[in-house]
C-alpha cells in the first residue's frame, strides 16, 4: 500500500535538522546533486501502523541510523532516547 505524504512535512523536518542526523548527531554523510545535506525522513510510528505524517512523528536520519531504526537490535531503546531528547516529538 502506498501512503500519501505531505511534502511540507519532509521539507520542514529536513530544514529543522540543519544537516545533522537527529539520532547520532553526525553531519549528513554527503551533499545531494542539489547541494543539500542527504538525510532521510523517518516516521517514528510508521504510517502503515496508523502513524501520522506530521512533524511531531517524523525525524531526519542519516542512512545508517535509518536502517538501524528498521532492523537494529536496539531500535526500541533508540526510539525512547529520541523521545527523551527531542521535545517536538509526540508519542503516538
Phi-psi region of 25 (alpha: psi -120 to 50; beta: other; left: phi over 0): left
Percent of the chain with pLDDT over 70: 100
Q: What is the pLDDT of residue 3?
A: 82
Contacts of 28 (CB under 8 A, 6+ apart): 19, 20, 21, 37, 38, 39, 62
CB atoms within 10 A of CB 37: 18
Task: Place 1 in a pLDDT band, splitting at 50, 70 and 90.
Answer: confident
Signed CA dihedral, 32, 64, 7, 27: sign only: negative
Q: pTM of the entire structure?
A: 0.92
Average of per-residue pLDDT values in the chain = 95
Quick: pLDDT tens for 4-34. Answer: 899 999 999 999 999 999 999 999 999 999 9
Q: What is the pLDDT of residue 13?
A: 98
Amino acid at each position: 500500500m502506498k501512503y500519501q505524504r505531505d511534502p511540507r512535512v519532509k521539507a520542514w523536518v529536513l530544514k529543522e535538522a540543519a544537516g545533522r542526523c537527529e539520532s547520532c548527531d553526525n553531519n549528513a554523510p554527503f551533499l545531494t546533486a542539489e547541494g543539500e545535506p542527504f538525510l532521510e525522513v523517518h516516521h517514528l510510528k510508521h504510517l502503515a501502523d496508523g502513524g501520522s505524517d506530521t512533524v511531531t512523528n517524523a525525524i531526519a536520519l542519516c542512512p545508517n541510523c535509518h536502517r538501524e531504526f528498521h532492523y537494529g537490535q536496539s531500535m526500541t531503546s533508540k526510539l525512547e532516547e529520541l523521545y527523551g531528547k527531542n521535545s517536538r516529538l509526540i508519542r503516538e
